Structure 1
Amino acid sequence: MRHLLLSTPILALAVLASSVYAQGQPAEPPPTAVPQALAADANPSASSTANPIDTLFDALKRERNPEKAKGIAGQIIAEMNDSGSATVNLLMQWSAESIKEKKNAAALDFLDRVTLLDPAFTEGWNRRATLHYTMGDRRKSMADIAEVLKREPRHFGALAGMAGILMEADEDDLALKAWERYLSVYPADRDAQEALSKLSEKIAGNRT
Structure 2
Amino acid sequence: MKQIASACLLYVALSVAANAQDCPVAPDHSADVSAIIAQIQDAENEQAARVLSNQLWEFWTDAPDESAQAVLDRGMTRRNAWDLLGAIEDFDRLIAYCPSYAEGYNQRAFAHYLRQDFQSALPDLDRAIELSPNHVAAISGRALTLLGLQRIDEAREALSQALELNPWLSERHLMAPGGPLALPGEDI
The answer to whether the superposition gives a TM-score over 0.5 is yes
Deviations 1:4-54 (A, max 9, x none): xxxxxxxxxxxxxxxxxxxxxxxxxxxxxxxxxxxxxxxxxxxx7973222
**Greater RCO (Cα-Cα under 8 Å, separation 6 or more):** 1
The residue number in structure 2 matching 1:8 is: none
Tell me whether 1:133 sits opposite 2:113 in the alignment: yes
Larger radius of gyration: 2
| 1:83 aligns to 2:63 (yes or no) | yes
Match of 2:53 in 1: 73
Q: Aligned residue for 1:179?
A: 159
Offset, 1:151: 1.2
Residues of 1 paired with 2:144 and 2:72: CA distance? 24
Cα pair distance change 1:205/1:186, threshold 3 Å: closer
Determine if the alignment matches structure 1 residue 192 to structure 2 residue 154: no
Between the aligned residues of both structures, percent identity stands at 18
User: Where do 1:10-159 residues align within 5 Å?
Assistant: 51-159=31-139
Moved over 4 A (4+): none
Distance 1:112 1:69, change over 3 A: same
Q: How many residues align?
A: 158
**Structure 1 residues without counterparts, runs of 5 or longer:** 1-47
- The gaps in structure 2 that reach 5 residues or longer are 1-27
Q: Using the alignment, how far apart are the partners of 1:89 and 1:174 within structure 2?
A: 33
Task: Give TM-score, length-normalised by structure 1.
Answer: 0.67
Q: What's the secondary structure of 2:168's corresponding residue?
A: coil
Find the aligned partners of 1:49 and 1:124 in 2 and give their Cα distance.
16
**CA shift for structure 1 position 60:** 1.8
In the alignment, residue 127 of structure 1 is paired with which amino acid? Answer: Q
RMSD (CA atoms): 2.3
Q: Deviation per CA, 1:58-86: give whole Å up to 9, x if none.
A: 22233242111111101011211111411
